[in-house]
Amino acid sequence: MKKKTLLLGVAALGVLTLASCGGETDQPYVTPDLEGKTMNVYLNYKGQSGVSFTGKVKGHAQYTNPLEGGKTYTQGAILPMWEAVAKNLKCEIKDAVWAVDEYVSTDDASQKLSLEGYADFANLDLVVMNNANSIEFAKNGKLANLYDYLDVMPNYSKFLDEHPTVKAEMTNGDGKMYMLPYFDGLDSAEHLFILNTELVEAILDVDSTSGFDTAAVTNGGVYQPVIDTSTDFTVGISVNGKLEDLTVKAATNPVKVQNDLTAKTGKAYAEALRNYIDAAYMSSNKYTKRSEVFTSEKACYTTDDYIALLRAVVNNNSYLKGKFGYEGKVEGFIPRTGENSRIDSVLWLMQIFGVQGIRGMAEKDALYFDKDGNLCDGRTNPAAYDGLTKLHQLYQEGLIIEGFDAGNKTAYNSQYLTGKSGAALAMFDYNATQTVNNKVDANGIGTADSKFKAVMPVLPPLTKWENDNISKSTYKYTRYLESSRANKGSGTVIPLHTTEEGTKAACMLADYFFSEEGALLQDYGPENYRDGTITLAGVQYPKYKAEVISETNKSTLGWNDYCRMAIGSTQGLGHVRTDAVEYQFTNEAGKVGAANVNAACASGAVIVAMSSRKPGFGASVPSQWSSSPENATSIQTLVDFWSRGVGSEKWRKVVLEGWEAAEVSRTQLEGFFAQSAEVYLKHYQTLLEIAGLAS
């Protein structure tokens, strides 16, 4: 939740956020009057974690916790975080899941609790479920209208006052509110550009290119440049967290130089980029080595620089393989896996061409605001179709991994970021999730047999954003991250109890996690799990004891699953999770990159989409709407066509083989999505007007 002195930050699983809990705060704290009460909590994450130890995780039927004096937790034992809640509030916490479904997925809450069949629903106090299920329970009169109980929820009430967009999106079409939302960070970037910076340095910083590849490039020159470098232009860069102007000197675009080469080789590609960096950037005296143009807080690279680098890396496989000793070949841009849900990460690459409203990255479907505050649909934007064409060009040149659309579970990240099956330069994903593929660091975080140690997030490239009205008018190109932390679509609901006293008590317990004490518990666990503080962007946050990091690594579960399964913290109940939690479980290289991006966001050199902005460029479209639209079928038809038609089949073919092979023309798409203005956008514009957010 909002703090009074926090800087804008980036979440991305490892960076500080503006809306974090656990730092300096002016949040009110009122101890709930729950003494002597028994509070029944239905919290179940994937059947593996919740209020008590489940014993459902393979290889973890029980757990001996050294931070609890060696206590052994077996199935049904209340977890430490919830034990602390019970102690602080002088009440008993009971895991209600065992009485209902013995830990099956929370997503099945509406079926397992059964709207008609579970007689004791009114005796549950907190129930964690998704937004769609909450609407069904509300329709049946099962849930408390939280607006009626804000007098006993001072912490949540203040949070709503400070976040009017959140208040609007959580308000149902009937004017009531039934859920406390969950945020794993708020108003901060979710995905980041990831680079293997060792590969960048090996191409740009070595004294001589004599050992670079001289074999002919057979598929080069397809992609055409989009950045005008014919004259000097000014951009904003971040220097020690402060915005400074930098003049990029006129020089022939590196992509054009590469395209015009008579003999295209990896060596010639690299030399063209190195020469451009020297001419355009190095005279500024801001950089001590060329790679800093891409990898530092002061990064100043453009879309075409990024693509010129992809070319230089992909076409110098023999040189790089000899230097790092990886298996296979070096790839340019990779997705996380071959599964459909991760194929979107190739589509996300379109943002380097200034495309907004990309499916899977925009907070709500493909919606975005233009600079005038108008609601737009990215699927109707010609820039998106241009972006698909450009992705096809990159694929033709071998800069996007072949087989990215394979319907398998190939872990491209763990195979290529570690060097097991090859190497990869770039991807767009979560920080901590990907930087764990580095070699093991001093904290034991990483992969033991990795060939690399410096995979990390970097600033996004400078490009032309059509609707940018935030950056200085003198800036020709700017940086923008549309993927930001927002409502996760789940949270806490309060069943209407048989007594008013029972409903109020449940509301008090839910409100506790929006207080500082409750938020600290939910984020970090009990006090004995913390030891001192860490400072991020000038704000202090609790520091985990070394034993917590050690136990997490030994568990092999990953930080989030370990915290949920063994501590009971970081669960998706209604609250705002601080990103300082994730930061401490991030590989050291990831922390370096995170600090760079965080400082650049704080300075304004990187713009992050935020729900706290009024509709316009840089404002997040609310990610959830509690109302059930009358025209749901028409809207779903549009969504399904993009997801299953264009998303899973057509757009992939465009990237792989071009528009002709996809058997769908731009005209057909534009005609189909003309319906959007009449059905889809009209509906959501009405909701914005109801919420008081319309332009």
Question: What is the CB-side half-sphere exposure of residue 465 using CA atoms within 13 A?
Answer: 29
Q: What is the pLDDT, as a whole number, of residue 13?
A: 29
Which residue, of 464, 481, 498, is where some domain finishes? 481
Same domain? 651 vs 522 = no
Q: Which of 526, 575, 576 is nearest to 87 (CA)?
A: 526
Predicted local distance difference test score (pLDDT) of residue 484: 82
Q: Which residue type does 272 have? A: A
Last residue of one domain, picked from the residues 451, 481, 511: 481
Kindly state whether residues 420 and 465 are assigned to the same domain: yes
Tell me what the mean pLDDT of segment 637-661 comes to.
68
- In terms of domains, do 230 and 183 share one? no
- pLDDT score for 18: 29
pLDDT per position as a tens digit, 308-334: 999 999 999 999 999 999 999 999 999
* Per-residue confidence band for 170, with pLDDT thresholds at 50, 70 and 90: confident
d(CA 151, CA 155) in angstroms, rounded, equals 10
* 105 pLDDT more than 70: no
Instruction: In whole angstroms, give the CA distance from residue 190 to residue 184.
Output: 9
Per mean pLDDT, which of 18-27, 362-371, 514-523, 617-626 is the most reliable?
514-523
In whole angstroms, what is the distance from residue 182 CA to residue 571 CA? 9
What CATH number corresponds to the domain at position 114? 3.40.190.10
Q: Of 432, 447, 481, at which residue does a domain stop?
A: 481
180 & 305 share domain: no
* Percentage of residues in the chain having pLDDT higher than 90: 58
DSSP string covering 601-659: HHHTSSEE-BTTSPSSTTBPPPS---S--TTHHHHHHHHHIIIIIIIIIIHHHHHHH-H
CB neighbourhood size of 71 (10 A): 12
- Residue 580 or residue 244, greater confidence: 244
Residues 509 and 564 in one domain: yes
Judge if 163 and 45 occupy the same domain: yes
Q: Are 426 and 310 in contact (CB under 8 A)?
A: yes
The average pLDDT across 391-408 equals 91
Angle at 316 between CA 314 and CA 319, to 5 degrees: 140
Q: What tokens appear for 166 in the block?
A: 């959140």
Range of the domain at 457: 192-336+411-481
Q: 293 lies in a domain? A: yes
What pLDDT score does 14 carry? 32
How confident is the prediction for the chain on average, in pLDDT?
86
Confidence of residue 224 (pLDDT cuts 50, 70, 90): very high
- List b or e across 59-69, with b for residues whose CB sees 16 or more CB atoms inside 10 angstroms: ebeebebebbe
Question: Percent of the chain scored above 70 by pLDDT?
Answer: 87
Task: Let me know whether 131 and 148 are in one domain.
Answer: yes
Amino acid found at 116: E
> Is residue 144 pLDDT above 70, yes or no?
yes
Q: How far apart are CA 285 and CA 276, in angstroms?
A: 15
**What span, in angstroms and rounded, lies between the C-alpha atoms of 193 and 31?**
43
Does 439 fall in a domain?
Answer: yes
59 and 138 inside one domain: yes
Number of domains in the chain: 3
Burial (0-12, 13-18, 19+ Cβ within 10 Å), 675: middle
Show the 3-state SS of 554-570: HHCCCHHHHHHHHHCCC
470 with 579, same domain: the answer is: no
Q: Are residues 472 and 420 in the same domain?
A: yes
DSSP bridge partners of 65:
71
Q: Is residue 257 domain-resident?
A: yes
Among 34-38, 46-50, 452-456, the minimum mean pLDDT is found in 46-50
The confidence score (pLDDT) of residue 227 equals: 98
Residues 277 and 423 in one domain: yes
pLDDT value of position 136 = 84
Residue 551 falls within a domain, yes or no? yes
Do residues 296 and 281 make contact, with C-beta atoms less than 8 angstroms apart?
A: no
- List all residues 6 or more positions away from 34 whose beta carbon is below 8 Å from its beta carbon: 89, 90, 91, 505, 508, 509
Q: Is 134 helix (H, G, I), strand (E, B) or coil?
A: helix
Q: Is residue 611 part of a domain?
A: no
Has residue 23 got a pLDDT over 80? no
- The answer to whether 172 touches 135, Cβ cutoff 8 Å, is yes
Segment 334-354, tens digit of pLDDT: 998 887 667 788 989 999 999
Predicted local confidence at residue 631, as pLDDT: 52
Helix (H) or strand (E) holding 192: strand 192-196
- Is residue 682 a part of any domain in this protein? yes
At 239 the pLDDT is: 96
The mean pLDDT of 549-557, rounded to a whole number, is: 91
CA–CA separation, 587 and 594 (whole Å): 10
Ramachandran area for residue 42 (φ above 0: left; ψ -120 to 50: alpha; else beta): beta
Going by the DSSP 8-state scheme, the letter that residue 117 receives in this structure is: T
Asked whether residue 455 is assigned to any structural domain, the reply reads yes
Instruction: Give pLDDT, residue 52.
Output: 95
Average of pLDDT values for 651-664? 80
Residue 376, SS3 per DSSP? strand
Give the position of tokens 């005609």: 671
- Give the Cα separation of 30 and 508 in Å (integer): 9
User: Do 663 and 543 have their domain in common?
Assistant: no
| In-domain check, residue 626 | no
Alpha-carbon gap, residue 15 to 537, rounded angstroms: 10
- Per the model's pLDDT, the better-predicted residue between 384 and 392 turns out to be 392
